[in-house]
Amino acid sequence: MNNQFTDQELAFRDEVRNFLKVSLPKTTSERVLNGLRLTKEQRVQWQKVLYDKGWIAPNWPVEFGGTGWSATQKYLFEHECAAAGAPEVIAFGLKMVGPVIYTYGTEQQKKRFLPDILKSDVWWCQGFSEAAAGSDLASLQTTATLDGDNYIVSGTKTWTTYAQHADWIFCLARSPDRSLKNQQAINFLLIKMDTLGIKVSPIMMLDGQREINEVHFDNVVVPAENLIGEPNKGWSYAKMLLTHERTNIAKVAISKTRLKNLRKMASEPPKGGVALIDDHAFALKLAELEIELRSLEYTEMRTLAAVSSGGAPGPESSILKIKGTEVAQFIDELYVEAAGYYCLPFVNDQFHSDTNAEFPREHHIGQGSETDRAPWYFNNRKASIYGGSNEVQKVIICKSVLGL
């Protein structure tokens, strides 16, 4: 595979760099590069900037608002955005339900939903997982019963990211027809979050942040026109969506930027000490990480090339998902190791332990945000579970690639 860029591709890279330099808010990029959370408003603001530029949906077909970029241009764009500290676009609308709608939706659904997704005027969340249906998603128990021109939806979804912000949810719900097998009785519905009977309950994380939720449906009335595709075919549409989600989870560009910052952090000796990069054991871990990340990058480039030729992510998405999450979690581990004592979480600008109360947060947070490393480490352990656990991805690879 040729990984040398042409003059035209280098000119495109420079165009992206100049755009980011001028258009990306500095306060936003600083928070991203320091591993700090963004508000909904900050994320939407950046997505609207991308929309105005015409760069909000690189992976969409041109007829629906895509850029028409080559695989190389998409690669360059992602890596320049990550290096500059540009926020990731929220995947639920642009990278997950959007492709499902323009692939399987009716013309009316495309006209109704796609423009608002592109303009970031509507925030979406994903209603897939349940308490007893995570990796075994086909076992979901939320029901959708057809009653005239409406579906009546009842059940509970969990781990629903950013549901507290969402205007709409794309939801998998089971037909009451018990004669059908699990996968053959699932509907893919679009549901407005302010519909009567929907209740959102927060799930607080270890770092005290609210990122995930439970969403309860109590006889929620959903117009039948909000069904995507055919009745009981939702599993097929969900599988297509999940291949896109797993490909996105790889996050190669972001991992490269984080690794670069980690190396910089490890190269700066503490006062009166020796730089961590000079520790042989730590240097070996960095080298191993760089090899893994480079291999992952080439796999991602091959997948992008296949998709740009008119294909869709296949079993490669499972490989990307497994290795992408393993690499990201390896980076988290080394950040915690590099931060050492200072990775401990704070409460009210002090350590949890009273014995450490003399060390205020601002003395140590620095450019590396060392004090946020432990919460991020714990939060990111979930990456090997969501989007289909890594164990499930290995089963997919065994069946689809190895024929076992």
Q: Is the per-residue pLDDT at 203 higher than 80?
A: yes
Integer Cα distance of 327 and 330 in angstroms: 5
Six-digit token string for 30: 């600083």
Six-digit token string for 309: 């030729």
- Residue-range domain boundaries for the chain: 7-89, 122-233, 250-401
Q: CATH topology for 122-233?
A: Butyryl-CoA Dehydrogenase, subunit A; domain 2 (2.40.110)
Q: Please give the pLDDT value at position 59.
A: 87
Q: Please give the pLDDT value at position 315.
A: 72
Q: Exposed/middle/buried for 337, CB within 10 Å: 0-12, 13-18, 19+? A: middle
Q: Which is it for the CA torsion 214, 216, 222, 224, positive or negative?
A: positive
Average pLDDT over residues 315-326: 83
Six-digit token string for 251: 């996050």
Average pLDDT over residues 72-92: 93
Q: Which of 77, 70, 72, 58 shows the shortest CA–CA distance to 3?
A: 72
Integer Cα distance of 119 and 175 in angstroms: 33
Q: Is the per-residue pLDDT at 46 higher than 60?
A: yes
- CATH 3.40.50.300 assigned to domain 250-401? The reply is no
Q: Please give the pLDDT value at position 104.
A: 96
In this structure, are residues 17 and 79 in contact, taking their beta carbons and an 8 Å threshold? Answer: no
- State pLDDT tens for residues 363-387: 333 334 555 677 778 778 877 877 7
Q: Please give the pLDDT value at position 362.
A: 33
Over pLDDT 70: what percentage of the chain?
87
Q: Is the per-residue pLDDT at 291 higher than 90?
A: yes
Average pLDDT over residues 141-157: 97
